[in-house]
Amino acid sequence: MPPLPPLPASTGHADWQRPALRVWASETAAQLRQHEALHEAGAYALSPLMLPRQQMQGMQGQVHQLLQLARRLSLQLDAEGRWCRADQRSLVLAARERGPALAPIARPDGILVEGQLKLLELNLDSGLGWYFELEFAQQRAAQLNTMAWGGRHRVPRLWPAICNYVAQLMACRDKRRCRLVVLIDAQLGDYDRRHAQLFANRLNASLPGLNASVRCTEELHCSGTSLRDRAGPVDIVWRFASLAHEAARTASTLALLQRALRCDCLLASDPSDLGVESKLALAALSELAEHESPLLSTDERQLVNALVPWTRVLRPAEQDSTDGDLSTLALEQRRSLVLKRTHSRASLHVLIGCECSDAQWQQAIAKAKADTLPWVLQQNVSPTPLPFAFVGDSRSELLGYSVSPFVFGSAEAAPYVRIERNAEQRRLAVGDARLNGICATLLVDEPASIAHLAQPPAAAEHV
């Protein structure tokens, strides 16, 4: 799919001083506290992001195509599984041998630049969370849409997309009743454990014929060709915990998945996608497109150029006839680059050049080149700030944001929108409401690349 042309920006308006909207905001804050959602109320923005429906549909189609392209290239260029972590390599290779991969589950991190999504991470993983936080935001936005705009905008949802994906897994099992295990690791925190149980409960309430339960890796074992827990054979495993944690924490989960590949059950997300999830896949796509590799068709090159910012692997003594010495380039172009380790979590190994001094940046480059794990340099892309107001303080301020499309096969799903609450600290994966928050998304029919409902109130108001 060729890139969509950018559409002109426009802005919607909401009067947060209207009594009905003040009541809505107060009720939202109360529900946040009641449900312990989003960790703290300050992380939730009153004002939803408005995306043109056509742009949203095109964006989802492009992302799905890019994920499939990355999967294909990983098989062509990385037969030995070098793109994944060393401790995950045997699992990836075994999953590839098992057969065709399941439809992807992903939440790529992206930023809209003049109406075009740019992907910073692929994040092919089922252990990403934020399902119910986002579903809560969309439900509140549906009420706001009715109150403020007469229901004329469309409210995408997340939960129906998840249910559609699980229903397809159930159809693959071709059974009257299916057992699904929501797999967690023993170190998962209380907040995430509650959400894992909520996930299982909601699946049971939404899908007739499904029996979902939460299990730790230690509660599952293989018997012949069956993966079993204390209640009997398991048909589907939905991995709720991320495998981006350190190797010591994920070892038991990896071992269980390795055994489960030999059993008669489905594993979501597909373990083979661990070979595509790292930033090495983006670096390969970026380089192939720029050098017009015959591995990519013309349409595929256009797709990569539209979605993937310039990304390269930083290696010792890196020399390339086109890129030149990347170390020198990194030092000269500090303010326009980001340095990332290819395997990390929660932005723990992300350095933004413009936030570093020359000395800090030079030291980081040297350490990255000496690391046993690879690092990449990536173009630093930034969105056009928009006005956001938050629950607890409806004063509006201009802030940057990211748009991360949820992918559950080909089903439409609401995107995960994170707001940069501190322009000097843009590492959006950090779960700190002082650094980032989320907002809902509404889809509009008006021609606009972004329309945003955050008209500043006439005076500061606390709700």
Angle between helices 279-290 and 298-307 (to 10 degrees): 130
Query: Is the CA virtual torsion 169, 175, 177, 179 positive or negative?
Result: negative
pLDDT band (50, 70, 90) for residue 460: very low
Residues with Cβ < 8 Å from 289, sequence gap 6 or more?
296, 300, 301, 304, 305, 308
Specify whether the CB–CB gap between 121 and 109 falls below 8 A. yes
Pairing of strands 236-239, 178-184: parallel
User: The whole model's pTM is what?
Assistant: 0.89
Specify whether the CB–CB gap between 127 and 240 falls below 8 A. yes
Other CB atoms within 10 A of residue 227 CB: 26
Query: Residue 10 above 80 pLDDT?
Result: no
Structure tokens at 457: 């109130």
pLDDT band (50, 70, 90) for residue 189: confident
Pairing of strands 210-216, 178-184: parallel
How many angstroms separate the CA atoms of 198 and 227, rounded? 23
The residue ranking higher by pLDDT, 192 or 177, is: 177
**pLDDT value at position 427?**
53
Structure tokens at 155: 């409210």
Residue 212's alpha-carbon distances to 55, 228, 362, 436, in angstroms, are 36, 13, 51, 33
**pLDDT value at position 114?**
85
Other CB atoms within 10 A of residue 72 CB: 13
Residues with Cβ < 8 Å from 248, sequence gap 6 or more?
none
Q: What is the pLDDT of residues 53-79, one digit of tens each?
A: 888 999 999 999 999 999 999 999 999
Specify whether the CB–CB gap between 439 and 388 falls below 8 A. yes
Long-range CB contacts (within 8 A, 24+) of 402-405 = 402/109, 402/110, 402/111, 402/120, 402/428, 403/49, 403/51, 403/59, 403/110, 403/111, 403/112, 403/117, 404/107, 404/108, 404/109, 404/110, 404/123, 405/59, 405/60, 405/63, 405/107, 405/108, 405/110, 405/117
**pLDDT value at position 422?**
66
Helix (H) or strand (E) holding 17: none
Q: What is the pLDDT of residues 70-117, one digit of tens each?
A: 999 999 999 999 999 999 999 999 999 998 889 999 999 999 988 899
Phi/psi for 309 (5° steps) reads -70, 160
**pLDDT value at position 397?**
81
Mean pLDDT of all residues in 339-356? 83
Pairing of strands 109-113, 116-121: antiparallel
**pLDDT value at position 416?**
92
Residue 62's alpha-carbon distances to 4, 83, 162, in angstroms, are 9, 23, 20
How many angstroms separate the CA atoms of 440 and 358, rounded? 38
Q: What is the pLDDT of residues 428-440, one digit of tens each?
A: 444 444 556 888 9
Mean pLDDT of all residues in 123-133? 85
The number of residues making up the chain comes to: 463
Helix (H) or strand (E) holding 148: helix 131-149
**pLDDT value at position 322?**
46
Q: What is the pLDDT of residues 409-421, one digit of tens each?
A: 989 999 999 888 7
% pLDDT > 90, the chain:
53
Mean pLDDT of all residues in 321-339? 80
% pLDDT > 70, the chain:
85
Mean pLDDT, the chain, integer: 85
How many angstroms separate the CA atoms of 365 and 375, rounded? 9
Among 36-50, 159-173, 354-368, 414-428, top mean pLDDT goes to 159-173
pLDDT band (50, 70, 90) for residue 14: low
| Alpha helices, DSSP H, located in 341-386 | 358-370
